[in-house]
Amino acid sequence: MFETISAAPPDAILGLSEAFRNDPNPDKINLSIGVYQAADGKTPVLDVVHEAEQRLALVNKEKTYLPISGSPTYAACVQKLLFGEDHDVMATHRAMTAQTLGGTGAIRVTADFLKANLPGVTVWLSQPTWPNHPSIFTAAGVPTKSYSYFNASSGELDFEGLLQSIGAIPAGDAILLHGCCHNPTGVDPSPDQWQAVVDRIRDRNLVPIIDLAYQGFADGIVPDVAAIRLLAGCGVDLIICSSFSKNFGLYCERVGALTMVTANQSVAETVASQVKQCIRANYSNPPAHGGAIVTTVLSDPELRLRWEKEVALMRDRIHKTRMLLAEKLQKLHVPGNYAFLARQRGMFSLTSLTPSQVDMLRNQYSIYIVRSGRINVAGINAQNMDRLCAAIQAVTGP
């Protein structure tokens, strides 16, 4: 039976990592996969994660199943992190949270939930977006369409195009927005622009889905959820897909959360029952370890403070690397405007490198970049910066 099946193409991002691993060049550079790397090129285990694991080792005595929605203590920590203690969402109990397998798991459960409960809904995605977004919704049978987001020639937000696009989305459809550190562009709306986006979403009666994979990587843990807090108070139903892969460095533990904010507690309970149905039919219940680490850190004021400091270190390193990269490319008179690199936030930037330039970087210099031209700035460090800039100069030159 299986002989008739044809091979699937390798994943655009994870497939490159495989090729990188097999490359014998000792000077190879990987700017493809979205994993934070410190100045030494390594992906650190955060100190607070280490400490939480040691504490857990002393108290964890059993390995029975978690509930379908995961740990309720974890859910409470996630809600506090998203909304703060004083938001009316907390007092009215009109939000539900389920522990999921990373941010990807939260998005997939969202897709299954929409398919089962709002069958006519289309999900609108930014153009461009994280390539897994369309894959996940399509796999769940939920149609997707695109809205304008990015002005490629200026490297800025296409704010007018964005507002116009939202204004044309049919009422009742869902719109997926990146909470901060837009992947792949690194371009986010300013606070004023967010306010306008929120107003338009409310006016059009859309369901916003916020993909929050980089909380803390733009301006800080609390500033990075300002848009979420606005949306949670503006009278629409809201879906948030959180990931702790990046800001806790817990990539392989698969820890994330799906939060839905509704009109009142009774609706939240009904929605929670439907979410549980989706999870039960998918992976039954989540793994415990990553969630327990996050809960341990977030529920201890001292660890929470130390975590914020560690996130700030990652954020600052990325920001400084961006500035240095923009400066070096300009000094080398690399064709194109690279000033935008310094203004963008988060790990990613969409460069104007063409697919053939990307191929040359890989084949001639062992520098691995996604073919769209997206680079992971966190893969750059003092040891590889000059080699990278010289290679970009070579492939973009006459």
CA distances 241 to 52, 79, 107, 127, 313, Å, are: 24, 12, 6, 19, 24
The verdict on 224 binding ligand PLP (CB under 6 A) reads no
The verdict on 130 binding ligand PLP (CB under 6 A) reads yes
* Closer residue to ligand PLP (CB): 128 or 155: 128
Distance of CA 372 to the CA centre of its chain: 18
The verdict on 376 binding ligand PLP (CB under 6 A) reads no
Interacting residue with ligand PLP among 52, 74, 103, 315 (CB under 6 A): 103
Region near ligand PLP per CB under 6 A, out of 96-104, 108-116, 136-144, 201-209 = 96-104
* Closer residue to ligand PLP (CB): 183 or 262: 183
Region near ligand PLP per CB under 6 A, out of 102-110, 142-150, 153-161, 333-341 = 102-110
The verdict on 183 binding ligand PLP (CB under 6 A) reads yes
Interacting residue with ligand PLP among 97, 126, 243, 247 (CB under 6 A): 243
Amino acid at 325: L
* Closer residue to ligand PLP (CB): 35 or 342: 35
Question: What residues have CB less than 8 Å from 394, skipping those under 6 apart?
Answer: 364, 365
Tell me how many residues contact ligand PLP (CB under 6 A).
12
| SS3 per-residue string spanning 295-307 | HHHHCCHHHHHHH
Give the CA-trace dihedral at 165, 166, 169, 170, to 10 degrees: -150
Tokens (6 digits) for 177: 């927005």
Residue nearest to ligand PLP (CB): 102
Smallest distance from ligand PLP to CB 386, Å = 28
The verdict on 215 binding ligand PLP (CB under 6 A) reads no
Amino acid at 110: T
Task: Determine what percent of the chain falls in helix, strand and coil, rounding each to the nearest 5.
Answer: 45, 15, 40
Q: β-strand 174-178 against 207-212: which pairing, if any?
A: parallel
130 annotated active-site: yes
Catalytic residue among 188, 237, 246, 307: 246
In contact, 99 and 70? CB cutoff 8 Å: yes
Smallest distance from ligand PLP to CB 214, Å = 7
* Closer residue to ligand PLP (CB): 182 or 328: 182
CA distances 148 to 128, 160, 337, Å, are: 8, 9, 21
Rounded to an integer, what distance in angstroms lies between the CA atom of residue 164 and that of residue 233?
Answer: 23
Which residues are catalytic, by number? Answer: 130, 211, 246
- What residues line the site for ligand PLP (CB under 6 A)? 34, 102-104, 130, 178, 183, 211, 213, 243, 245, 256
